[in-house]
Amino acid sequence: MTAPARYIAVDDNHGLHIEHHNPGQPGPGEVLIAVNAAGINRPDLMQRYGLYPPPAGASPILGLEVAGTVIATGEGVSGWKPGDRVCALCNGGGYSDRVLVPASQCLPIPGALSDVEAAALPETYFTVWYNVFERGALRPGERFLVHGGSSGIGTTAITLAGAMGATVYATAGNADKCAACESLGASRAINYNEEDFVEVLKKDTEGQGIDVILDMVGGDYVQRNFEVAAIEGRIANIAFQGGFRSEVNFLPLLMKRLVLSASTLRAQSSEQKAAIANALRERVWPLLGRGELKPVIDSVYPFAAVAEAHQRMESGAHIGKIVLDLNAD
The model's pLDDT over 183-226, given as tens digits with 9 standing for 90+, comes to 999 999 999 999 999 999 999 999 999 999 999 999 999 999 99
Q: What is the pTM of this model?
A: 0.96
| Mean predicted confidence (pLDDT) in 106-115 | 96
User: 1 pLDDT exceeds 60?
Assistant: no
Element (H, E) at 90: none
Q: What percent of the chain has pLDDT over 90?
A: 94
Q: Rounded to an integer, what distance in angstroms lies between the CA atom of residue 170 and that of residue 186?
A: 7
Class of domain 5-121+266-325: alpha beta
Rg of the chain, C-alpha, whole Å: 20
- Kindly indicate the confidence band of residue 243, based on its pLDDT and cuts at 50, 70 and 90: confident
Is the pLDDT at 2 greater than 90, yes or no?
Answer: no
Q: Give the start-to-end residue ranges of the domains of the chain.
A: 5-121+266-325, 125-262
**Of the candidates 253, 255, 220, the residue with the CA atom closest to the CA atom of residue 235:** 253
Q: Is the confidence at residue 155, as pLDDT, over 90? A: yes
Per-residue pLDDT at 141: 98
Q: What is the pLDDT of residue 130?
A: 98
Q: What does pLDDT average to over the chain?
A: 96
Q: What is the CATH number of domain 125-262?
A: 3.40.50.720
Per the CB < 8 A criterion, the answer to whether 304 and 8 are in contact is: no
Q: Provide mean pLDDT across the span 43-50.
A: 96
Categorize the per-residue pLDDT at 267 as very low, low, confident or very high, splitting at 50, 70 and 90: confident
